[in-house]
Amino acid sequence: MFRKLIFAILLLSGAESFGQNFDIVPKPVSVTPGNGRFVISGKTRICSGKDLEAPAMLFVSQMEKLTGTELSFSDIPSKGSIKLQTDLAMDAEEYVLNVSKKSVSVTGGSEAGVYYGLQSLLQLAINNDGAIPAVMITDKPYMAYRGAMMDVSRHFFSVDEVKRFIDILALHKLNRFHWHLTDDQGWRIEIKQYPLLTSIGSIRKETLVGQMDESREMKYDGIPYGGYYTQDQIREIVDYAAKRYIEVIPEIELPGHGVAALTAYPWLGCTGGPYEVWTRWGISKDVFCAGKESTFEFIENVLTEVLELFPSKYIHIGGDECPKDRWEKCPLCQKRMKDEGLENEKELQSYFMQRIEKWMHSHGREIIGWDEIMDGGISKTAIIMAWRDQFNGTKAAQQGNRVIMTPKWNCYLDYSQTSDPDKYEPIGPRRYLSIRQAYRLDPYDRLTPEEQHNILGVQANVWAEYIPDFQYHQKKVLPRLAALSEVGWAYDRKNYDDFVKRLASFARLYDKEGLVYSDYVFKGIE
Ligand code: ACM
Ligand code: ZN
């Protein structure tokens, strides 16, 4: 009797007892198990119209790489196949994945929706060793903007590494890649009209060794360090990302964090230099001069080339950490303030940013700026990237500006992952950002439903001062990126314990992909 009862319970509870694993990260809207299994094998075909051949072929190559199974593509529907289709009544990124004993169908609101459905199918294939339990999954993202930023100035990452980072974003169903291309420590984008930006500005003569401590003498390695992307390489990366439904948003930092550019063209600064591409970390007092017309001419020429390379609606123009020391002493900056009726240097920065924003609008684009651009007054049209504190973003959203939330205490993946970094982690920022804390981000906190519409989404930022190579970059990013991807995709269905359980399955995909990741969360180290 007792054994019969146990058997009946097992039969009813189904899922776990028969090795069915429906773990998907980020969490879908609904998962409804069915009966039986669909086995993917070398005989399985993936069928779609020509319009969906691109996501189909990406899935074919992912399956081959991760499971060794070689699927074939056909534009003629056949029995027992994986069928792809679009349904224009659905949201663009929405999908329905239906797995039955006999066939699989993926229906998306657009190519991107179908692609996301296939990413979920891939996770199910890996979780269940190719024998996918019947299931109906409905899914769509909560937030429109789901991003990650890579800093290639402090340390340079090759074209292949950038593509690999884009692969990682795609696996997490992110759709924006914010590319931090310029900073004090190196200018990384070829600009044809200003060749010295790369021939001089992309190279620093050496790099600080160890953790920066301004109270002690700093040590340098004596080794020149550089790297930049040609315009052809940039086009290649933009195209690579687009094929994975990811838009690349470039950042050209203004008016601070510009020492690399000032080194190449010293007339861009207030004092005229000489300057030197920075070899240490921190915030430089040397910034673009806001008084000279030639500064704006230079920036507009640079941005003209940037717009040709990047089709994104949004262009990031920096705006953070711009000390006003030089402007206070510069006769041209002071004259500009007088001529424009500006009360102080913060207003001069607003003048600077708003002037570039106007130019951007006249070229059909919009600007994103770090939250400091609010300090001296902002236009209603600027998009605020809140980083210092979430409540800068909250305030901006209340004032009617659009906001991308990247508050450092939840989103800076260069921060330590454990509460005892000296024990567990290499040198780097000692601020603590556990995966749990990343997961806790609530970008809508204290906002009315109306104000919440101004939150475009969330983004992970990975500053690279202490990230010398791509192996370590991955260890910083994974798996905390999964937590932020779930905030952006599945905000309304978050549950940390359930997330950690699903994450263990997702890590099998990391393993098969050959990705490097931190395993603190799996070892219970916080
Ligand atoms: C920043 O972290 N300075 C945007
Ligand atoms: Zn000046």
* SS3 state of residue 152: coil
**pLDDT tens digits, one per residue of 180-215:** 999 999 999 999 999 999 999 999 999 999 999 999
Backbone dihedral region for residue 457 (phi beyond 0: left; psi -120 to 50: alpha; all else: beta) = left
Q: What local confidence, expressed as pLDDT, does residue 1 receive? A: 52
Q: Measure Cα distances from 196 to 12, 261, 263, 265, 273 in Å.
A: 70, 8, 9, 7, 15
130 — phi, psi (to 5°)? 85, -10
Ligand 1 atom with least separation from CA of 385 = 4
Q: Which atom of ligand 1 is nearest to the CA of 370?
A: 4
What are the extents of the domains in the chain?
2-139, 145-523
Q: In 154-216, where do the E strands start and end?
A: 176-180, 182-183, 186-187, 203-204
CATH architecture observed for domain 145-523: Alpha-Beta Barrel (3.20)
List, as one string, the DSSP characters of 458-481. EEEEE--TT--SHHHHHHHHTTHH
Question: Would you state the structure tokens that stand for residue 215, as one six-digit string?
Answer: 């109270």
Q: Which amino acid is it at 239? A: D
Q: State yes or no: pLDDT of 4 exceeds 60.
A: no
Q: Output the pLDDT for position 10.
A: 46
Q: Is the pLDDT at 472 greater than 60, yes or no?
A: yes
Is the bond preceding 195 in cis, omega lying within 30 degrees of 0?
Answer: no
Q: Which ligand 1 atom is the nearest neighbour of the CA of 408?
A: 2
Non-local (6+) Cβ contacts of 148 within 8 A are: 165, 169, 174, 176, 177, 178, 459, 460, 461, 462, 477, 481, 484
| Residue-level pLDDT at 18 | 60
Q: For residue 443, is the peptide bond before it cis, meaning its omega torsion is within 30 degrees of 0?
A: no
pLDDT for the residue 16:
43
pLDDT at 421 over 90: yes
Cis peptide bond prior to 426, omega within 30° of 0: no
Q: Mean of the pLDDT values across residues 44-50?
A: 96
The topology under which CATH files domain 2-139 is Chitobiase; domain 2 (3.30.379)
Residues with CB under 5 A from ligand 2 (ion): 270, 289, 291, 330, 332-333
Centre of ligand 1 to C-alpha 456, Å, is 19
264-302 tens-digit pLDDT: 999 999 999 999 999 999 999 999 999 999 999 999 999
- Nearest CA owner, ligand 1 atom 2: 387
Tell which one of 257, 370, 389 to mutate to probe ligand 1, the residue whose CB is within 8 A of the most ligand atoms.
370
Residue 19: predicted pLDDT: 80
Q: What is the mean pLDDT of residues 445-460?
A: 98
Task: Determine what percent of the chain is predicted with pLDDT higher than 70.
Answer: 97
Instruction: Return d(Cα 220, Cα 217) in angstroms, integer.
Output: 10
**Residues designated as active site:** 183, 257, 321
Mean pLDDT of 420-447: 97
For β-strands 30-39 and 131-139, DSSP reports them as antiparallel
- Whether the bond between 28 and the residue before it is cis, its omega within 30 degrees of 0, is no
Q: Is 187 exposed, middle or buried (0-12, 13-18, 19+ CB in 10 A)?
A: buried
In the reported structure, the alpha carbon of residue 321 is separated from the centroid of ligand 2 by a whole-number distance in angstroms of: 17
> Looking at residue 3, what DSSP letter applies?
H
Averaged over 396-415, what is the pLDDT? 98
Q: What's this model's pTM, rounded to 2 decimal places?
A: 0.96
Q: What angle do CA 311, 316, 317 make, to 5 degrees?
A: 125
| CA 526 – ligand 1 centroid, Å | 25
Ligand 1: residue of 251, 254, 388 to mutate (most ligand atoms within 8 A of CB) is 388
To test the ligand 1 pocket, which listed residue (317, 321, 410, 433) has its Cβ within 8 A of the most ligand atoms?
A: 321
CA-to-CA distance for 239 and 246, rounded, in angstroms?
9
Residue whose Cα lies nearest atom 3 of ligand 1: it is 320
Ligand 1 centroid–CA 386 distance in Å is: 9
Cα 361 to averaged position of ligand 1 atoms, centre (Å): 24
CB 249 within 8 A of CB 368: yes
Evaluate if residue 316 carries a pLDDT over 60.
Answer: yes
What mean pLDDT is reported for the chain?
96
Q: Is the pLDDT of residue 106 over 90?
A: yes
Residue 11 confidence (pLDDT) = 47
Q: Measured from the CA of 461, which atom of ligand 1 is nearest? A: 2
Q: Report how far apart, in Å, the C-alpha atoms of 9 and of each of 15, 32, 134 are.
A: 11, 18, 20
Q: Which atom of ligand 1 is nearest to the CA of 257?
A: 3
Tokens 């040590």 belong to 219
Beta strands in 43-109, from DSSP E residues, in sequence order: 45-47, 72-74, 82-86, 95-99, 104-108
Which residues form ligand 1's pocket by a CB distance below 6 Å? 320-321, 370, 387
For 317-354, give the DSSP string. Answer: EE--S---HHHHH-HHHHHHHHHHT--SHHHHHHHHHH
For ligand 1, the distance from its centroid to the CA atom of residue 523, given in whole angstroms, is 31
Nearest-angstrom CA–CA distance, 485 and 483:
5
Ligand nearest to the CA of 268: 2
pLDDT at 14: 43
The pLDDT > 90 percentage for the chain reads 95
